[in-house]
Amino acid sequence: MPKISLAGKSYEVLETLNNVTLADSFVKNKIGSGHGEAKLYVGNEGDRVNTFFDDLRRTFFFLLDDFKKYMMDAREEYLNPQQEYVRKESMPQLFESLQSRIGTCAGRILRFSMTRVSVNPPRVYLKSDSPYYDLVRAVGLPNISYLSFMKIKDAKNKIFYYCRIFVDYKSDILAYDSLFARKEEARIQASALSDKKKAALSEARQGQGEYRRKLLDDVGCCPFTLVNDERLLIASHIKPWAKSTDSEKTDPKNGFALTPTYDRLFDQGYITFQADGKVKVSPWISPMNQKRLHIYDGMDLPKLHSQLDGKREQYLQYHRTYVYKG
């Protein structure tokens, strides 16, 4: 079973329940009308929810560091909100207030309990009266925030539920284009760059144009599948386009050619690569799905070794730090 280290303690990962949507009805930063509700929809009966939450007497916990990272990831939307929040003009001030509130939390591990809400099947709802659960409602942003649960076991065979809040500007829930990316696009188009250079930068955003051609010439194939048919490969940036300088945006060393499944895993931070060419798999991919995907932590990809060099490793350092969901 995969292992994870949390607050200096090692746990065995038993299962994960990912991408539980923080709906507008649940969060306090609302887009629509209504007063909201404190219960959290986690899925339907029969969707393995009952098996996952088989004993709600177990301890649930958040990590303080995860809340801090979430606020940094969500900072862009708080300070320059793109969604039409009911109190949109107050979002920057709210960001500072929530930062202060998080700073008052005591300890690295924030423990709480949850109970099941009595509603008609098949929908399953959970709730809690913990201030940490209320904090999730306070910091959550509709459409782009979600909660993931990890069922873990310590060395004494005691089982816990580790909970973590994420923000994803590329969420499938909403075709959300981050302000930063749009600002970058606007900056490029308004710059004194030549039309050819502007086109190259914009095409690179979609993994097309000169960036794609040079990348495919450099790597040749997907290191997982060895597929070399260009029609089946995605030119994936290592350091995201929106976070890259103009030279990095079109640098073929800032990318891999991956088949769609592995592109998705890499782009969403569920896998990354170590300097030694080994695959690092996020613990947020359940053990069962790791088997289905034929990936595992420490997996060696012989073809990857020939694709790695000092320049690509510099980009991978960014990916491991800021993109990978460790």
Other C-beta atoms lying within 10 Å of the C-beta of residue 87: 12
pLDDT band at 36 (very low <50, low <70, confident <90, very high): low
User: Pairing state of beta strands 60-63 and 159-167?
Assistant: parallel
| SS3 (DSSP) at 101 | helix
Tell me: the pLDDT tens digits for 58-89? 999 999 999 999 999 899 899 988 888 999 99
Query: Over pLDDT 90: what percentage of the chain?
Result: 70
| SS3 (DSSP) at 176 | coil
Look up the pTM and report it.
0.82
Tell me: the pLDDT tens digits for 261-275? 999 999 999 999 999
**pLDDT at residue 45 is higher than 90:** no
Tell me: the pLDDT tens digits for 6-16? 999 999 999 99
* DSSP string across 178-223: -HHHHHHHHHHHHSS--HHHHHHHHHHHTT-HHHHHHHHHHH-S-T
Which two three-digit tokens encode residue 50? Answer: 């009952």
Query: Over pLDDT 70: what percentage of the chain?
Result: 95
**pLDDT at residue 183 is higher than 80:** no
pLDDT for residue 145: 92
pLDDT for residue 120: 80
| SS3 (DSSP) at 280 | strand
Average pLDDT over residues 216-227: 96
Please state which of the ranges 40-44, 55-59, 186-190, 221-225 shows the lowest mean pLDDT.
186-190
pLDDT for residue 174: 43
User: Pairing state of beta strands 109-112 and 159-167?
Assistant: unpaired
* C-alpha gyration radius of the chain: 21
pLDDT for residue 158: 97
**pLDDT at residue 180 is higher than 70:** no
Peptide bond into 142 cis (omega under 30): no
Helices (H), the chain: 49-52, 64-79, 91-103, 131-139, 179-190, 195-205, 209-219, 246-249, 260-267, 287-293, 302-307, 310-318
CB contact at 8 A, 21 and 165? no
